[in-house]
Amino acid sequence: MAAAGFALLALTNGCATVPTDPDEKAAYDERNDPLEPMNRYFFDLNNAMDELILKPFAGWYYILLPNFAQDGVRNALNNLRTPVILGNDLLQGDLDRAGITVARFFINSTLGIAGLFDVASEFGLIYHDEDFGQTLAVWGTGEGPYLVLPILGPSNPRDATGRGVDMAMDPLTWILPMYDLSYLGFVRAGLDAVDLRARNLKTLDEIKQGAIDYYATIRSLYRQHRDDEIRNGAPPPDSVSVLDYITDPQTSEAP
């Protein structure tokens, strides 16, 4: 009971005050970040942990490992995600991408030496990632308010739920403990985090240096990135290009 009361108090104190001014209220609704004070606290905490632990490890990883070795690590990690990607391909009803996922796994697991080399890409079978958060979006589930999770970073209720389902879908979640190899799951997660951070060392530094509000910038970039993943790289349905105005007489004005 005490823990539940503390959690409720933390959530209450972490809620942003809803403005009464119409313009400010519109901006507040657009941000969709009612827990912003709490989110900013966890954002600062995550940044401190990043500067203290993850970024130094990623820096040494980037310096000491040749590019081909880093590519091998990423390829192997991508290959291990195949069951989760395939499951979500099927749940989204995308049989074409599911076929690509299966073909990539067999090619890279054999010719690619346990996934260390991405041989499948040479055959035009390009890697794509899927997760249950994207599947929920395809099913029409809204993202909900923006969240910053301790250690895990930017998220929302839909993606946080998806992360848990993906863990349950991953066969290694169940297989490794059966052989007292649970520690390999932590090694895998650590490698994944370090490799991803190493690939974004310069990018994140540039964003941090150029951003007026680093928190708001990351929030916006996260949402854009997730939206792009959900649409599989396709343009937003409401976007209109210059060519649309040229070729569509309904959108062009008479001279």
Q: For residue range 74-122, list pLDDT tens digits in order.
A: 999 999 999 999 999 999 999 999 999 999 999 999 999 999 999 999 9
Indicate whether 43 and 117 sit together in one domain. no
Model confidence, pTM: 0.84
Listed residues 77, 104, 130: the one ending a domain: 130
Indicate whether 146 and 213 sit together in one domain. yes
Indicate whether 145 and 172 sit together in one domain. yes
Indicate whether 59 and 78 sit together in one domain. no
Listed residues 105, 130, 155: the one ending a domain: 130
Indicate whether 220 and 145 sit together in one domain. yes
pLDDT surpassing 90 at residue 176:
yes
Determine the structural domain holding residue 165 and report its residue range: 33-63+132-232
The reply to whether 54 falls in a domain is: yes
The reply to whether 241 falls in a domain is: no
Residues 179-196: what's their mean pLDDT? 96
Regarding predicted confidence, which is higher, 192 or 27? 192
Rounded CA gap, 165 and 131, in Å? 9
pLDDT in the model for residue 237 = 72
Residues 139-144: what's their mean pLDDT? 97
The alpha carbon torsion through 60, 65, 67, 71 (nearest 10 deg) reads -100
Indicate whether 174 and 222 sit together in one domain. yes
The reply to whether 4 falls in a domain is: no
pLDDT digits (tens, 9 = 90+) for 199-238: 999 999 999 999 999 999 999 999 999 999 999 988 877 6
Indicate whether 137 and 121 sit together in one domain. no
The reply to whether 5 falls in a domain is: no
The reply to whether 18 falls in a domain is: no
Number of domains in the chain: 2
Indicate whether 136 and 125 sit together in one domain. no
The reply to whether 37 falls in a domain is: yes
Listed residues 74, 105, 130: the one ending a domain: 130
Q: Comparing C-alpha atoms, which of 200, 173, 198 is closest to residue 188?
A: 173
Indicate whether 194 and 120 sit together in one domain. no
Indicate whether 53 and 90 sit together in one domain. no
Indicate whether 70 and 194 sit together in one domain. no
Indicate whether 146 and 225 sit together in one domain. yes
The reply to whether 255 falls in a domain is: no
pLDDT band at 8, cuts 50/70/90? Answer: very low
Neighbour count for residue 108 (Cβ, 10 Å)? 25
The reply to whether 248 falls in a domain is: no
